[in-house]
Amino acid sequence: MDKKPYRALLLSALMILTSLAGCIESSDESSDDTTDGSDQGTEYYGTIMTSTYHVEQLVSAIVGDTANVEMMSTSNEPVHDYAPSTQDLERLRSSEVFFYHGLDLEPWVQSAITSDGAPPSYMTHTMPSGEVTLDYQTMLLNDLCEQLAEGDKVSNTLLSYEDQADQLEIHPEKGVQTLTFPEADTSHEGHDHDDHDD
């Protein structure tokens, strides 16, 4: 019986087990996963409350382990339908700062941040010039007028026969779409009129 394969297998297992020994935590070390920053020499900022998952992800990416980042809604409820409970409002009051999306995405925010005991709050969606709301109507009208005046013009002729309808392609890119119907064929050429009762 050849012992070389068994030796190789035993040696491989021994190497794997010894490499795992470095991953085992000693009993002297703390197993606490919460970070308060006191033992690391970094400043700990407390609890930061956020309104939505996306804002929570943004804030967590910035603060890392220097703060505890929580969301107002702990359920999977849409942000437009969410209404904070008294427990949620208490959690908000006990936080150090509150970040929310803004632009009236969360209809409950204004009443929550103006209540007594609310922490300082910051909107994450503001314009570089400091404007709070966007004038979507003006932006849309300006874009529409520009497209009508200078945009690409596309003409399409609608087909008069159902069996050819799949040949028409309209692409929804920016531009002016002009749709026309084909000329009506009023000459009854090629039709047999003998079978009609006049």
Q: Which residue has the higher pLDDT, 39 or 81?
A: 81
Answer whether residue 131 shows pLDDT above 80. Answer: no
User: Would you call 103 helix, strand, or coil by DSSP?
Assistant: coil
Q: Are 160 and 183 in contact (CB under 8 A)?
A: no
Q: Answer with the residue of higher pLDDT: 10 or 46.
A: 46
Q: What is the mean pLDDT of the chain?
A: 72
What's the pLDDT tens digit per position in 64-80?
889 999 998 877 788 77
**162 pLDDT higher than 90:** no
Start-to-end Cα distance in the chain: 108
Q: Nearest 5°: CA angle at 45, between 123 and 59?
A: 40
**CA 111 to CA 104: how far, in whole Å?**
12
Predicted confidence at residue 78, as pLDDT, reads 80
Res 133: pLDDT:
60
Compute the 3-state secondary structure of the chain and give helix, strand, coil in percent, each to the nearest 5.
Answer: 35, 15, 55
What residue ranges of the chain are covered by domains with CATH 3.40.50.1980? Answer: 47-123
Is residue 103 within 8 Å of 49, Cβ to Cβ? no
Would the pTM count as exceeding 0.95?
A: no
Reported as a pLDDT band with limits 50, 70 and 90, residue 106 is: confident
Check whether 61 has a pLDDT greater than 60: yes
How many angstroms separate the CA atoms of 4 and 7, rounded? 5
Residue 31 confidence (pLDDT): 46
Q: Which long-range contacts (CB under 8 A, 24 or more apart) does 34-40 make?
A: 34/68, 35/65, 35/66, 37/65, 37/66
95 pLDDT above the threshold of 90: yes
* pLDDT at position 179: 63
**The two structure tokens encoding residue 152:** 């690409």
pLDDT at site 122: 86
Spatial CA neighbour of 143 closest among 100, 175, 109, 184: 175
pLDDT in tens, 14-39: 667 666 655 555 544 444 444 444 45
User: Residue 48: pLDDT band by 50, 70, 90 thresholds?
Assistant: very high
The dihedral formed by the CA atoms of 72, 74, 75 and 76, expressed in degrees to the nearest 10: 70
Say which CATH topology domain 47-123 has. Answer: Rossmann fold (3.40.50)
**Band of the pLDDT at 178, cuts 50, 70, 90?**
low
**What span, in angstroms and rounded, lies between the C-alpha atoms of 158 and 168?**
7
3-state secondary structure (DSSP) of residue 34? coil
The residue assigned the tokens 């407390």 is 46
Give the ranges where the chain is alpha helix by DSSP (H): 4-21, 53-63, 86-93, 109-113, 136-150
Give me the pLDDT at residue 90, please: 92
